[in-house]
Each structure stands twice: as structure tokens, then as C-alpha cells.
Amino acid sequence: MFGIKNPTIAEKPDHAHYPACRGRLEAIEKNGFRLFKYTLVVSFWLAVISFLGNPVQVIGWIPILVCGSYDYLPLSGCCIQVILCIALAVIALLGCGKHKVLHFILLMIYAAMFISCIVYRYTIFDIFTFIIGGMGVVFGYNAYADYFDYKQLSETEGFPMFSLILIEHEERKEEQKKFEEWYASRQHSSPAKNTQPPGPQPIPVTGMNNAPVQQAVKKPNPTDGLGDMPEITVRRKVNSSAPEDVFKPKSGKASRISDSKLKFR
């Protein structure tokens, strides 16, 4: 009904209405641009018919009243009808913006062209006008709902962007909050951690009557060297027959190192 708000795009808290409003706004813009393209083609062909001097239903009513001729329009009437055809395309173009009411008016013009050709005919071109009017109604049938939905969207928070990035940011914040709550609950409900260090545990030794026997713990002896490391047995010692101050190269020649007179302090 007239003036009824669309509940699908109603404003909701926490920007929850943004996705629906964004989708509806894009659909309205798509419908309006489609109607504009159709009207642009129609305006061109109606202008061609006007140059031939034939009056067009609805658009030609004003030239007919000015010129007083129903069958053929004089030059002045043709010029007026051409201007009205151009005005039809301008109305469709302006309707692609924020003036959606113009597309609703354009829908009424197409409906009048379709009906008037059934009631009364001027020329044989009225058949062409009848087809144009019928196709115009098909292309612009949703202009009525688009007009009122666009008016509602213009008064809704977030218009005209309805940023989906903001919605994703809010959802991530909500998911992070839920995760932190879940993690905190798991921390409180988890059992106490075992403080005993990992690794093989000593097997208790029991005596008579299964009474536990305390084992003596062997303390490490610092004189044991590396502990469990095996000792290396030296089987053969390398002896050198050369004196300490003699250097023997591979050539077999020996040279004696003389004391240097330079003294380093």
C-alpha cells in the first residue's frame, strides 16, 4: 500500500541493516539505468516519427492542441514533439539520480501510451506507439516500489554507502569477544596441571610384606671426571727425536732457530 515501510530494509541496531539496504539500493540503481537505456532508444525513434509529421500518442497531445491537427503536424508541431521526445530522455536520465519520482512519472507516461492506443488511433504509427508503451511498462513496472524504497533508504542510517566493511569489522570484533569468553571458560574449567617433570619415573622397591624400601641415592663424585663418559686408553705415545729448538721440514734439512735480539715487552 501507499506509504508502507519496507520491513526488509528497516533500520536495525549495530548496523545490521547495512547488507539488505546495500543490496536493495544496488537493485534500484540497476532498474533505473535499464529504464533510461530503453527510454533513450524510444526517444530517438519517436523523434524520427515526429520529423515525418505524425503525431504520437500522449507526447503529441500538446502539439495537437497547439496546431489543431490530428492527422498531420506542421513544422512547428514537429519541433514541439521532438523537444518533448528529448525531454522524455532527460526525465529518464534525471531519474537515475536521487529523483526517483521521475521514473514513476515515466512509468505513468508509458502506461498512458499503451492504453490510449487502444481507445483511439491517430495514424498507423499508433501500433508502433502501442508496442513502445507496453514495453515501457515492462521495463519500468517496479518504478513505484523503487521510489518509495529509495525514499525510505534515504532516511536510513548509513545512506548512501551502507559500508559492508564496517559490518565485517563489527562481526570480527564480536567473534573475537566470543572467542575470548570461550578461552577464559576453558581455562577455568581445565584440570590442574601436573607439576611432576616428564620422563621415566623410578619404580618403587618393596620388601617383605610389600613394605616400601627406601633406596639410597648415590651422589655424584666430583673426582669422577666426566661421569659416565668412557675413559680413553692411550696405547702409544708419539715421541719426537728432534730437540725443541730444531725444526725439521719434509725435505729433511734441519735449521736451528736462533734467538732474536728483539725483545718484546
pLDDT digits (tens, 9 = 90+) for 5-27: 889 898 888 777 888 888 899 99
pLDDT in tens, 71-98: 788 888 899 999 999 999 999 999 999 9
| Residue whose entry in the numeric block shows the C-alpha cell 539500493 | 25
Phi first, then psi: what are they for 90, rounded to 5°?
Answer: -65, -40
Distance between first and last Cα of the chain: 111
State residue 147's pLDDT score. Answer: 93
**Phi then psi for 50, rounded to 5 degrees?**
-65, -35
209: alpha, beta or left, given left = phi > 0 and alpha = psi -120 to 50?
A: left
Residue 245 has pLDDT above 60, yes or no: no
pLDDT tens column, 199-219: 555 555 555 555 555 555 555
Mean pLDDT of the residues in the chain: 76
DSSP assigned state of 255: E
* Cell representation of residue 196: 611432576
Q: Which residue has the higher pLDDT, 184 or 110?
A: 110
Distance from CA of residue 145 to its chain's centroid?
28
What predicted TM-score, i.e. pTM, was given to this entire model? 0.61
Residue corresponding to grid cell 514495453: 135
Q: Quick check: 110 and 133 in contact, CB under 8 A?
A: yes
Contact yes or no for 35/95 (Cβ under 8 A):
yes
Residue 170 reports pLDDT greater than 70: no
> Coil, helix or strand for 247?
strand
Cα distance between residue 170 and residue 164, in whole Å: 10
Return the pLDDT at 1: 42
At a CB cut-off of 8 Å and minimum separation 6, what does 108 contact?
none
Residues 6+ apart with CB under 8 A from 237: none
Residues 105-142 have pLDDT tens digits of 999 999 999 998 888 777 788 888 999 999 999 999 99
